[in-house]
Amino acid sequence: MHQQLINKNKMYLDKAKKEEIFEKNGNGKTDTGSAESQIALFTYRIQHLTEHVKRNHKDFVTTRSLTQLVGKRRALLNYLYDRDIERYRAIVKKLGLRK
C-alpha cells in the first residue's frame, strides 16, 4: 500500500524527464533556454494536460492552463519562424506539430 502512495504522488515531469527532453531537442541536457527545448517541453506538458482534460472535462482551471500553454508555445514558434526558418521547420517536423 505504501508503494501505491509513492507512485500516486510521483510527478509526471521529474528532473530526469526534463533532462531527456532538453537533450533530445536542445544542445544538451543543460540547455534549458533555447527555443527548441522550451517548445519541446511545452509540447510534452500540452500532451499530458490534454489527456487530463479528456478524462476530466469539467476541470476548467486545467483547460485554461492548457490554453495558456498553447499560446506560449505559439509565441515561441512565431519567434523562431521570424529568426530562423530552418530551425522552425526542423522543430515542427521533429515534434510532429501542424503548420
- pLDDT for 91 equals 94
CA distances from 22 to 26, 83, 88 (A): 5, 20, 16
Q: 19: which residues sit within 8 A by CB, 6+ positions away?
A: 29
pLDDT in tens, 57-79: 999 999 999 999 999 999 999 99
- pLDDT for 3 equals 54
Fold of 2-95: Helix Hairpins (1.10.287)
Q: Which residue has the higher pLDDT, 25 or 69?
A: 69
C-alpha cell at 51: 489527456
Please give the radius of gyration of the chain, using alpha carbons only, rounded to the nearest integer: 15
Q: Where are the domains of the chain?
A: 2-95
Tell me the C-alpha distance between 20 and 28, whole Å: 9
Indicate whether 37 pLDDT > 80.
Answer: yes
- pLDDT for 27 equals 85
CA distances from 1 to 4, 6, 9, 57 (A): 5, 9, 13, 29
- pLDDT for 57 equals 92
CB 31, CB 22: distance < 8 Å: yes
User: What is this structure's pTM?
Assistant: 0.84
The stretches of 1-99 forming alpha helices (DSSP H) are 2-9, 15-25, 35-55, 60-83, 85-95
Confidence category of residue 7, pLDDT binned at 50, 70, 90: low
